[in-house]
Chain A
Amino acid sequence: MEPKVINQTLSKAAHSGRWKYGQHSCFCQKQGSGNNWAYGYSVHGPRHEESIMNLIQKEVEKCDSLNGFLIIMSMAGGTGSGLGAFVTQNLQDRYSNSLKMNQIIWPYGTGEVIVQNYNSILTLSHLYRSSDALLIHENDAVHKICAKLMNIKQISFRDINQVLAHQLGSVFQPTYSGEGSFHYRRNPLGDLMENLVPHPEFKMLGVRNIPQMSENSLAYSTFTWAGLLKHLRQMLISNAKMEEGIDWQVRPPLSGLPMLGKMSLNKEFHFNTSIANLVILRGKDVHSAELGAFKDPALYTSWLEPVHAFSVWKTQRAFSKYEKSAALVSNSQFLVKPLDMIVGKAWNMFASKAYIHQYTKFGIEEEDFLDSFTLLEQVIASYCNLGF
């Protein structure tokens, strides 16, 4: 799959002079998956299982202490989604004690691939069973960040990938392992999952960053922790994807009063309930940052105390070019609406049986589709009921 892409990636990295991929730590084939999840999962998967798992084994053996696996994939195509799901399942079987986080690219709502909704629901349902956490990035949101915050006129995939890299970096760069400690965290992946995924039914995580702006604007801006954290908190509770256009009207429900009625998807989502949140602060004077607002029990579900639900990581070292920056990784109702939309569209298409013959050709039957729909409807319902 994708020999051109892999070759390009390897050569670009090698030329940058900063870091490169090992010559033999890649695997590709000439034959693609044709945007067909069934082809990636049922044909490419079993055919290349040996080679792929051997490559992974080699890398694993080099590690002193394996944290886990971060699998980066897209949902709309055939290889990323189908083969990605297959590999994750294999990792589950072979390395059952290691943690797996899948970083997933949620496709544009207006379509890059026509069968993206089918590919997405099949991927999500399979990953929900075999992965430990799903870190989700939406193309639409990242595109808006590029347009509004970074002021890029002609957005290319390079710009989008840059924002994604920034978001991932802000989460996984080293931080101190405890308050006042001088040792770096040994297992960020494990700690992250321990804090954010307390229950296997709720695995969808989203990332929000602040600030994000173009280099030109950076020279004219100064930040305070209070300002950054206030915006970040409002982004969390109003489900904003970036720091512009935040709805300041949204407030958490007053504690003690019962929630009025069930949260229905037809009405506008007003308040975003969280299961768990992790805030990562990087930069000057980080110890002076005041995080009490995030520990408000009204933000969280009733079955988890804020002391367990909220955690914070800090480091004095600035990240990228920002003197102070904050990232929020959140397990909350962020993604219910996009998920609901994808399931709805896929269901409509499924009802007319369009494109199904392309999947049954490679062994994915209608029952597999129905299983996926059932699982995802269950996830949507569980997340919706968090408001109680």
Chain B
Amino acid sequence: MEEGVVNEILQGPLRDVFDSKQLITDISGSGNNWAVGHKVFGSLYQEQILEKLRKSAEHCDCLQCFFVIHSMGGGTGSGLGTFLLKVLEDEFPEVYRFVTSVYPSGEDDVITSPYNSMLAMKELNEHADCVLPIDNQSLFDIISKIDLMVNSGKLGTAIKPKSLVTSSAGAFKKRQEKPFDAMNNIVANLLLNLTSSARFEGSLNMDLNEISMNLVPFPQLHYLVSSLTPLYTLADVNIPSRRLDQMFSDAFSKDHQLIQADPKHSLYLACALMVRGNVQISDLRRNIERLKPSLRFVSWNQEGWKTSLCSVPPVGHSHSLLALANNTCVKPTFIELRERFTRLYKKRAHLHHYLQIEGMEESCFTEAMSSLSALIQEYNQLDATKSMPAEDLPRLRVAV
């Protein structure tokens, strides 16, 4: 699948990162058809995939987790990607599966993307430990904001070279690249920050399994909204602590989230802050105290913060923050997904492409729909408790 894409990467600047023996390609694509990706290519390549996975896993001293990075709207990423999840769960049941999924935005060009996304959602619900949803529209907004900053040439503001989240090369060159490179860079930075505590030392370490432990209170509610700050560093010397506090405030604003969501006005179930760089525990505590009153946490997790400090900052910055939140603001994304699916499904449009694949039936669609509806219902229930005051439940009484 996607032989063209893989070949292009192998010729680009990142060719040494990938081990060519670990790549699987096929000439034909999936035709934007989840069923082709999942059922056809899945069964065709299952052996090969398992083989390569086992080989890589044997090299590891201690396998912590798998990262699956895919898109929901197409055929291969969506279908084969979610097939992989099932394979990983059977083969390596104790290893966590972190999935970074790119959800289709409002105007995307794949007509059958609602079907693909819906079918993929069911798999994510059941087989992923943690999902980090991302969508192209938000990434594009972030890029535009950075471009504005770079090109506005405001007096006295100059961006430090190499400090943009979006660019690996110098920031001042006129970039001819497609915006997708810059957008992918943001996601790459997300993953780097996520694993930084496991790779570098720090005063408060956090492993990847701690993310799942702390941020997933109920097995189905494992969707985490992420945000990265700062997006760029100004080259002139600034008052350190004001810059730091600004970084924390930005992480909760809806412009910095990697998905169209507004966490500040929804209910938080849990929140993790992963700080890199020269930040001390007192700064962290101070900011948490400062931001807490404006955020709404669920009644049984009023102080639901998980913090980690890594001493090595990312390239070009002196410190950075990744905020992961388990928040009901993902609900609108799911509701919209369901709407678009229903619109197509009502007319049974394009359905025959799916049903002609062996193993697909209409029940697959209805099951996926009910799985998503159940998830939305869970979030609804939690939101309903938002306005209720936190009551203390009666405690066990002990005879003395």
Which residues does A use to contact B, with CB under 8 Å?
2, 4-5, 8, 29-32, 34-36, 78, 108-115, 143, 147, 153-158, 160, 343-345, 347-349, 351-355, 357-358, 373-374, 377-378, 381-382, 385
Counting CB contacts under 8 A, is B189 at the interface? no
Q: Which of B16-24, B148-156, B214-222 contacts A (4 or more CB under 8 A)?
A: B214-222
The yes or no answer to B14 lying at the interface (CB within 8 A) is no
Given A78-B213, A114-B304, A349-B300, output 15 extra A-B contacts at Cβ < 8 Å. A4-B205, A31-B62, A32-B209, A36-B213, A113-B214, A114-B270, A115-B214, A158-B203, A343-B395, A345-B303, A348-B392, A354-B217, A357-B219, A374-B398, A377-B398
Residue of A nearest to B208 (CB): A34
Contacts of A352 in B (CB 8 A): 300
Check B306–A377 contact: CB distance below 8 A.
Answer: no
Q: A4-B205, A30-B62, A109-B303 are in contact. Are A155 and B280 (CB under 8 A)?
A: yes
Interface status of B109 (Cβ within 8 A of chain A): no
Q: Which residue of B lies closest to A117 (CB)?
A: B303
The answer on a CB contact under 8 Å between A156 and B393 is: no
Inter-chain contact A111/B210, CB cutoff 8 Å: no
Residues of B within 8 A of A115 (CB): 213-214
Shortest A324–chain B CB gap in Å is 30
- Find out whether the CB atom of A354 lies under 8 angstroms from the CB atom of B300: yes
Contacting pair B280 A154 (CB below 8 A):
yes
Asked whether, in the complex, the Cβ of A110 is within 8 Å of the Cβ of B304, the reply is no
A156 adjacent to B62 (CB under 8 Å):
no
Contacting pair A111 B303 (CB below 8 A)? yes
**A355 vs B213: C-alpha distance when bound (angstroms):** 8
Q: B212 near A34 (CB under 8 angstroms)?
A: yes
Query: Which residue of B281, B292, B301, B304 is within 8 Å of A157 (Cβ)?
Result: B281
Closest to A380 in B: B398
**Which residues 60-93 in B have Cβ within 8 Å of A in the complex?**
61-62, 64
Would you list which residues of chain B between 169 and 191 have a CB under 8 Å from chain A? none
Chain A, residue nearest B240 (CB): A154
**Shortest CB distance A351–B (Å):** 5
User: Can you give 6 A-B contacts (C-beta < 8 A)?
Assistant: A111-B305, A112-B204, A143-B282, A154-B283, A354-B218, A385-B400
Collect the chain A residues with CB atoms within 8 Å of residue B300's CB.
348-349, 351-352, 354
Which of B64, B301, B400 gathers the greatest number of chain A CB atoms within 10 Å? B301
The contact size tier of chain B is 35 or more
A32 CA to B302 CA, complexed, in Å: 26
A34 to B211, alpha carbons, bound, how many Å? 8
B305 engages A348 (CB within 8 Å)? no
Q: Is B288 an interface residue (CB 8 A)?
A: yes
Pair B283/A344 contact, Cβ less than 8 Å: no
Contact (A114, B281) CB under 8 Å given A348-B393, A351-B300, A381-B400: no
Residue B126 lies at the interface, judged by CB distance under 8 Å to chain A: no
Say whether A114 contacts B306, CB under 8 Å: yes
Assess the B305–A157 pair: CB atoms within 8 A.
Answer: no
Q: Contacts of B306 on A, CB cut-off 8 Å?
A: 35, 111-114
Q: Which of A110, A155, A347, A378 contacts B282 (CB 8 A)?
A: A155
In the complex, A320 Cα to B392 Cα: how many Å?
Answer: 46
Q: Does B167 contact A (CB under 8 A)?
A: no
Task: State A147–B62 Cα separation when bound (angstroms).
Answer: 40
In the complex, chain B residues whose CB is within 8 Å of the CB of A2? 205
B289 interfacial by beta-carbon distance below 8 Å: yes
Q: In the assembly, what is the distance between CA of A347 and CA of B300, in Å? A: 9
- Could you say which residues of chain B place their CB within 8 Å of the CB of A111? 288, 303-307
**When chains A and B are docked, how far (Å) is the Cα of A357 from the Cα of B213?**
10
- B107 nearest CB across to chain A (Å): 37
Establish whether residues B303 and A110, one from each chain, have CB atoms under 8 Å apart when the complex forms: yes
CB distance A381 to B393 under 8 Å? no
A34 & B62 in contact (Cβ 8 Å cutoff): no
- Asked whether, in the complex, the Cβ of B281 is within 8 Å of the Cβ of A32, the reply is no
Contacts of B281 in A (CB 8 A): 155-157, 160
C-alpha gap A344/B396 in the complex (Å):
10
Q: Closest 7 CB pairs between A and B?
A: A34-B209, A30-B62, A354-B217, A155-B282, A111-B303, A114-B214, A111-B305
Q: Are the C-beta atoms of B398 and A154 separated by less than 8 Å?
A: no
For A156, the chain B residues whose CB sits under 8 A away are 203, 280-282
Q: Is the CB of A381 within 8 A of B392?
A: no
Specify which of A109, A344, A358 is in contact with B216 (CB 8 Å cutoff): A358
Chain A residue numbers with a CB within 8 Å of B378 are: none
**Does A110 contact B289, Cβ atoms closer than 8 Å?**
yes
Decide: B61 and A30 in contact? CB cutoff 8 A. yes
Q: How far is the CA of A158 from the CA of B283 in the complex (A)?
A: 14
**Residues of chain A lying within 8 A (CB to CB) of residue B397:** 377
Which residue from chain B places its CB closest to the CB of A378 in the assembled complex?
Answer: B398
Docked complex Cα distance between A355 and B270 (Å): 11
* Chain A residues positioned under 8 Å from B392 (CB to CB): 344, 348
Alpha-carbon separation in the docked complex, A220 to B352 (Å): 87
Whether a CB of chain A sits under 8 angstroms from the CB of B207 is yes
Of all chain B residues, the one with the shortest Cβ separation from A114 is B214
Distance A156 CA – B202 CA, assembled complex (angstroms) = 11
Residue B201 at the A interface, CB < 8 A? yes
B213/A110 in contact, CB under 8 A: no
Interchain CB contact under 8 A, A347 and B398: no
